[in-house]
């Protein structure tokens, strides 16, 4: 943990543009899980921090009421502060490390787990992934958000060593070399290791299951974004053989941010004035052959805005 304390004391997550966009995309995708069960039967487990933004959003947008926030803050007074800030009665705060608590949460019913870590890749992350793969039911989703700390300041020739030490005893992705880990390459190597850990846990579990109950994982999110640091969010839905018809690939591929492979969606939203925002939104969705324009905004910024505008946050001064 950072010497200045947990991230909820240092960062106002509610003002993070890229994160806000990502959150809306995530919820848009999660809404497709309705095919498996009504959301009244789902449980959401996350790291809510002090603002509980993810938990409040899945309650507001999806109607999930069974909500658990895991928090490793050990100080009693700070725990009271976290309890005080819970925006909803039904949020249950559990104090401790995710490695210890995830195996003990109720896994009855379908579950959405979104672990938004403060620290980069570690063996602990992969343990949490394996716990999900071992215990979650068909129709459940796992999202992992990680900062890419080590990739940013390590000398290129030392990257492979740094990555190996980050993932502990998990196998390195086949063919990975140091230069693959430069910049955003680190994120994609993390994605491969996370996907591998999930697939391995599902395969081990499958040995004891009838073929109709065996679970397959579908990657649905692969998002790279920058707020104050580079971040990766990767997410999967697990589906049993017998429920495979409930995961409708066409519904997912219809969502422009859907990414099932190594190529990530990059969220790098341009900073626009309210006037520019309105002006650009009025030109969208763009007519065939038409082009977007606003004085002084580059073509790259316009293209990025067009990709993100449906989810672009409008920050309005207010006391929430």
Ligand X SMILES: C[S@@+](CC[C@H](N)C(=O)[O-])C[C@H]1O[C@@H](n2cnc3c(N)ncnc32)[C@H](O)[C@@H]1O
What is the nearest approach in angstroms of ligand X to the Cβ of residue 51?
Answer: 5
Under DSSP, is residue 214 helix (H, G, I), strand (E, B) or coil? coil
Residue nearest to ligand X as judged by C-beta position? 47
Helix H or strand E encompassing 203: helix 185-206
Whichever of 71 and 301 has its CB closer to ligand X, that residue is: 71
What is the nearest approach in angstroms of ligand X to the Cβ of residue 95?
Answer: 8
Reference 143, options 71, 200, 223, 202; nearest CA is 223
Contact between 149 and ligand X by CB under 6 A: the answer reads no
Which residues is 219 bridged to in the sheet?
A: 236
| E strands in 110-261 | 111-116, 140-147, 215-226, 230-240
The contact pattern for ligand X, residues 93-122, with x = CB under 6 A and - = no contact, is ----xx-----------------xxx----
What is the nearest approach in angstroms of ligand X to the Cβ of residue 315?
Answer: 15
Which residues is 94 bridged to in the sheet?
A: 70
Contact between 224 and ligand X by CB under 6 A: the answer reads no
From candidates 25, 67, 70, 159, binder to ligand X by CB under 6 A: 70
Return the range that interacts with ligand X (CB under 6 A); candidates 66-74, 182-190, 268-276, 311-319.
66-74
Distances from the Cα of 9 to the Cα of 2, 45, 92, 231, angstroms: 11, 21, 20, 19
Contact between 54 and ligand X by CB under 6 A: the answer reads yes
The contact pattern for ligand X, residues 3-22, with x = CB under 6 A and - = no contact, is ---xxx----x---------
Tokens of 170: 């998990």
Which residues is 216 bridged to in the sheet?
A: 239
Contact between 132 and ligand X by CB under 6 A: the answer reads no
Contact between 72 and ligand X by CB under 6 A: the answer reads yes
Neighbours of 149 (CB within 10 A): 17
- Structural contact between residues 156 and 179, judged by C-beta atoms closer than 8 angstroms: yes
Contact between 221 and ligand X by CB under 6 A: the answer reads no
Q: Which residues bind ligand X (CB under 6 A)?
A: 6-8, 13, 47-49, 51, 53-54, 70-73, 97-98, 116-118
């Amino acid at each position: 943990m950072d010497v200045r304390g947990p991230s909820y004391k240092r960062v106002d997550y509610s003002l993070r543009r890229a994160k806000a966009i990502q959150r809306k995309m995530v919820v848009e995708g999660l809404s497709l899980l309705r095919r498996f069960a009504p959301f009244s039967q789902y449980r959401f487990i996350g790291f809510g921090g002090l603002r509980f933004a993810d938990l409040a959003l899945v309650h507001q947008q999806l109607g999930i009421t069974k909500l658990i926030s895991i928090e490793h803050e050990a100080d009693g007074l700070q725990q009271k502060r976290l309890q005080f800030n819970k925006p909803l009665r039904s949020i249950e705060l559990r104090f401790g490390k995710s490695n210890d608590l995830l195996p003990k949460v109720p896994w009855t019913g379908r579950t959405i787990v979104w672990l938004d870590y403060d620290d980069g890749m570690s063996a602990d992350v992969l343990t949490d992934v394996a716990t999900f793969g071992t215990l979650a039911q068909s129709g459940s989703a796992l999202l992992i958000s990680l900062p890419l700390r080590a990739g940013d300041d390590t000398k290129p020739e030392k990257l492979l060593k740094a990555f190996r030490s980050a993932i502990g005893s998990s196998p390195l992705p086949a063919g990975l070399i140091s230069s693959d880990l430069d910049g955003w390459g680190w994120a994609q190597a993390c994605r491969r290791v996370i996907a591998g850990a999930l697939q391995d846990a599902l395969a081990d579990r499958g040995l004891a299951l009838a073929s109709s109950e065996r679970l397959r994982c579908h990657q649905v999110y692969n998002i790279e974004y920058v707020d104050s640091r580079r971040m990766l969010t990767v997410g999967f839905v697990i589906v049993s053989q017998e429920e495979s018809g409930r995961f409708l690939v066409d519904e997912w591929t219809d969502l422009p941010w859907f990414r099932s492979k190594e190529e990530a969606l990059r969220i790098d939203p341009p900073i626009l004035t309210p006037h520019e925002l309105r002006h650009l939104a009025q030109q969208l969705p763009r007519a065939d052959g038409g082009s977007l324009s606003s004085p002084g905004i580059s073509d790259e910024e316009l293209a990025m805005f067009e990709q993100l505008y449906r989810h672009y946050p409008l920050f309005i001064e207010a006391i929430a």
